[in-house]
Structure formats: structure tokens, C-alpha cells
Chain A
């Protein structure tokens, strides 16, 4: 019965590009409502790992399970799993030809086949959640980076996903705009959304994450709660990395 307590299970994921093994066996389990943060040097495979979870990249080996259903090898049913697994990208990837509210509702209408009126209500609700309701009728080109990212979070939220994957959601933003996006994410975490977040924002990781996973060379080499990270000498690699790249001090 221990299998049912996790909503997402990632088991021994391997992925190579050519001769380079980018992921060398990554495993972890996620409970409902948990926030896990992934940190680590560039080129370590963090993005690849997230993309393996919703099969935007197909892993060479290993399995992903969502609620005891296998996501890997799902065939055409992968589209169902992708509805259940939201994703937020570093560069937002809003649909340029659609207003903010249309960006949020389009998948509700086209994928979930919700009727347009219901979809609009749902989209407005989610925009309101991220503080973007006043911008509903604006096009992506008219939004700041922070606003665009908040709309893209609303777009992911609208599907009522079981888990949302964030791939460096604030890395394209300057500090001011980073703060407004982090605020939205912190709020989501406290509301019980299950989130996997690749980030360099140590402030967010330490305050919002249940667990921090430090990746290097395609492996999770250290993992634990934020307090472990701060107090446990086992985390020396991670601390060295943080100190080196972020001027981070305990």
C-alpha cells in the first residue's frame, strides 16, 4: 500500500544524447502537496529531467508513474498525462496570437472540451489567482516578463493539474519581476499545489521547498530538507555550489 501515498514516482531515469549520458539514473517520489526544488550546475540535466517527466523528452530507461499509472510507454494516452502534469518554462512560451485570457482558456476548450463560457470563467479565476485579471485582454507582447510568466502559470493552473513542473521560471527575469513570480509560486505552494521547481532562487527553495535535490552530472547527489541543507555537513557539495554561484551564506 505504500505505493498509493505518492502521486508521482520517478524511477531510475536514464537519458543520453549521442554518447553523452545526461541523466544517469534519477529516482525520487513526490507526495501530494509537496514542493521539491532542483538545483545544480548548468548542463547537469535538470531541464532534461523535467522534460522526461511529461515525456517531451523520452527517456532511454526508467519509469514515471502518476497515481500508479505508468506515464512512460503511454502511447497516445500521453496527452492525457500531459493534461495532468502542468509545465512552466523559462521563456514563458505564451501563444503570441492570443490574449492573456485566451492563452489560459484555449486548452480548456480544445483539449478538455469545456464549453467556452465555463472556460472563460475558469480562465478569469486563474488569472485572478496570479494577479493578472486586469490584463486579461492584453496580448503577450504587451506584458512584462513577470506578467507573462504569471499568465503562463495561470495557463498551467487552469488544467487543475496533479503536479506542475517549473523549469527556471524566473531565470529570464530581472530581480524586481522575479519577486512577483516567486510570490505567486510561494502562494501556490502554501495552497497545497504539488510542484517540482528547477531554480536558482535559494530564498524560495529554502522557504518553500519540502525537499531540495542537488544534481550534478546527471545524478541527484544530495537531497534533504532545507534545514538539512543549512545544518547537515552531508550537504557540503551543495553548499559549495551555492556559495560559489550565488554568494549564499548560511
Chain B
């Protein structure tokens, strides 16, 4: 069968290659986006006036700027001022900016919900502010922020497809190439959608497992 041959010999190999790139984009973005999100949230909550304002500006800008435009600026705009990124790097930078801005909002909200008295108790034990943030505030805030962070992670999986627009041949990009070449649009894109669905499902299962693992009896998980 023509169809079977198309699927097994052409489409799947191309999509596997694309999937690897997509997973690489996510694997680089997610951890950095989370760490940066934590740093920004801490800066906005406990920083000096200058740091607070810088963090605020960062969040406002990257939450407000359409991601696609951001990628254009990084990939097509920056070379004109002498800064050139590979397409992959430009995509990752854009994703990190977006991902960290949103994560920082979830984490900041969760930090504000940590009982003020526990911070006072930590201080009264002789902890520095830094020790109190690391040992008392963040472990609680990050748990409470898991639903937000995981939503953002799922979005990342899907918006990583925007990288295709700046020539990264990730999952969507590889599908587009095959579809155009063989005029098999419907089949190809439905199958790609299933690939994304599979990635999202695996991610969701992973997140649920993490959430369960760090759950604490009686601790509000909202």
C-alpha cells in the first residue's frame, strides 16, 4: 500500500527526527525557565527597589510581547545589530523569556500565600532572610505553584511549534516539509497532532507523579 509505505518509510522517520528537536527545545527551556522564574519571583518579593522594578519590567514585557514577534526579533532582528543566533538558540531564548515570566507569576503568588508567621519564626531561630527563603518559603511556594507551573509546561510543549517559523525543523516543521512534498496534508497533520498529544500525556503523567511525590498531608495544594 502506498499509504503504509508513506507512513513507515517517510513520515515516521521525519517526525521522529522532529520530535527529538522538539524534546531538545523543551528540555533546555523548561529547567532554565523554572530557575529564572524562581529568581524573578524572589527578586520581586524580597528584592531592593531596583531589583523589584527590573523584575516587574521583565514580566510585563515578556508577558505582553507576542512570542512569535519575540522570535522574529531574536532571529531576524538581532543580526542587524551584529548579534547572530542559530535558529535553535533564538527559539530557546524566546521560550525561556516567555516561560520564566509566566512561571514567576505563579511562584510569586504562591510565595505571598506562605504564612507570614513562619517567616517570623524562621527569623527568630536566627535564620538569615536568604536561609528563610530557601528553606521555608520556597519549598512551600513551589508546591503550591505546581498546577501553574505544569500548565505553563504543557503550553511550552505546544508553543514550541512556533520555532518552525524561524526555520527550526522541530516536530511541526518536519511535518510541514513532508506534507508539502507529498501533498499529504490531512494525514500528516493529524498524525503530528497525535504526536503532540502523546508528549503532553506523558508530561502530564510525569507531573502528576511529581505532585504526588512531594505532597504533604494537610498541606493546601491550591
A82 located at the interface, meaning its Cβ lies under 8 Å from any Cβ of chain B in the complex: yes
Query: For residues 58 through 79 of chain A, which have their beta carbon under 8 Å from a beta carbon of chain B?
Result: 79
List A contacts of B121 (CB < 8 A).
87, 89, 93-95, 152
Check B124 against A56 for contact (C-beta < 8 Å).
yes
Check A83 against B126 for contact (C-beta < 8 Å).
yes
Check A96 against B219 for contact (C-beta < 8 Å).
yes
Check A155 against B219 for contact (C-beta < 8 Å).
no
List B contacts of A94 (CB < 8 A).
118, 121
List B contacts of A91 (CB < 8 A).
117
B39 to chain A minimum Cβ distance, whole angstroms, is 20
Q: A56-B123, A107-B125, A159-B125 are in contact. Are A95 and B136 (CB under 8 A)?
A: yes
A213–B195 alpha-carbon span in the complex (Å):
73
List A contacts of B120 (CB < 8 A).
56, 89, 93
B73 located at the interface, meaning its Cβ lies under 8 Å from any Cβ of chain A in the complex: no
Check A139 against B217 for contact (C-beta < 8 Å).
yes
B28 to chain A minimum Cβ distance, whole angstroms, is 29
B44 located at the interface, meaning its Cβ lies under 8 Å from any Cβ of chain A in the complex: no
Number of residue pairs A-B, CB distance < 8 angstroms:
76
A85–B115 alpha-carbon span in the complex (Å):
22
Check B127 against A107 for contact (C-beta < 8 Å).
yes
Which has the most chain B C-beta neighbours within 10 Å: A86, A96, A106? A96
Partner of B216, one of A56, A97, A107: A97
B82 located at the interface, meaning its Cβ lies under 8 Å from any Cβ of chain A in the complex: no
List B contacts of A111 (CB < 8 A).
125-127, 131
A56–B119 alpha-carbon span in the complex (Å):
11
List A contacts of B125 (CB < 8 A).
82-83, 107, 111, 155-156, 159
A160 located at the interface, meaning its Cβ lies under 8 Å from any Cβ of chain B in the complex: no
Check A96 against B115 for contact (C-beta < 8 Å).
yes
List B contacts of A5 (CB < 8 A).
none
List A contacts of B136 (CB < 8 A).
95, 97
B66 located at the interface, meaning its Cβ lies under 8 Å from any Cβ of chain A in the complex: no
Check A93 against B140 for contact (C-beta < 8 Å).
no
Check A142 against B217 for contact (C-beta < 8 Å).
yes
CB-nearest residue of chain B to A139: B217
- Count residues on chain A whose CB falls below 8 Å from chain B CBs: 30
CB-nearest residue of chain A to B138: A97
- Residue-wise interface mask of A (94-109) relative to B, using a CB-CB cutoff of 8 A (1 in contact, 0 not): 1111000000001100
Which has the most chain A C-beta neighbours within 10 Å: B121, B136, B139, B219? B121
- Residue-wise interface mask of B (18-38) relative to A, using a CB-CB cutoff of 8 A (1 in contact, 0 not): 000000000000000000000
List B contacts of A87 (CB < 8 A).
121, 124
List A contacts of B140 (CB < 8 A).
95-97
A86–B118 alpha-carbon span in the complex (Å):
14
Q: A89-B117, A93-B117 are in contact. Are A80 and B126 (CB under 8 A)?
A: yes
- Residue-wise interface mask of A (122-151) relative to B, using a CB-CB cutoff of 8 A (1 in contact, 0 not): 000000000000000011111000000000
B218 to chain A minimum Cβ distance, whole angstroms, is 2
A54 located at the interface, meaning its Cβ lies under 8 Å from any Cβ of chain B in the complex: yes
Query: For residues 195 through 239 of chain A, which have their beta carbon under 8 Å from a beta carbon of chain B?
Result: none
B151 located at the interface, meaning its Cβ lies under 8 Å from any Cβ of chain A in the complex: no
CB-nearest residue of chain B to A155: B125
B128 located at the interface, meaning its Cβ lies under 8 Å from any Cβ of chain A in the complex: yes
A94–B126 alpha-carbon span in the complex (Å):
15
Check B124 against A54 for contact (C-beta < 8 Å).
yes
Q: A140-B218, A141-B219, A155-B125 are in contact. Are A93 and B118 (CB under 8 A)?
A: yes
A110 located at the interface, meaning its Cβ lies under 8 Å from any Cβ of chain B in the complex: yes
11 example contacts (A-B, Cβ-Cβ < 8 A) are as follows A54-B124, A79-B126, A82-B123, A82-B126, A85-B124, A89-B121, A93-B115, A94-B118, A95-B121, A97-B140, A138-B217
- Sorted nearest first, the 6 A-B pairs with minimum C-beta distance are A141-B218, A83-B126, A93-B121, A93-B117, A107-B125, A82-B126
Question: Which positions in B face A, CB cutoff 8 Å?
Answer: 115, 117-118, 120-128, 131, 135-136, 139-140, 143, 216-219
Question: Which positions in A face B, CB cutoff 8 Å?
Answer: 54, 56, 79-83, 85-87, 89, 91, 93-97, 106-107, 110-111, 138-142, 152, 155-156, 159
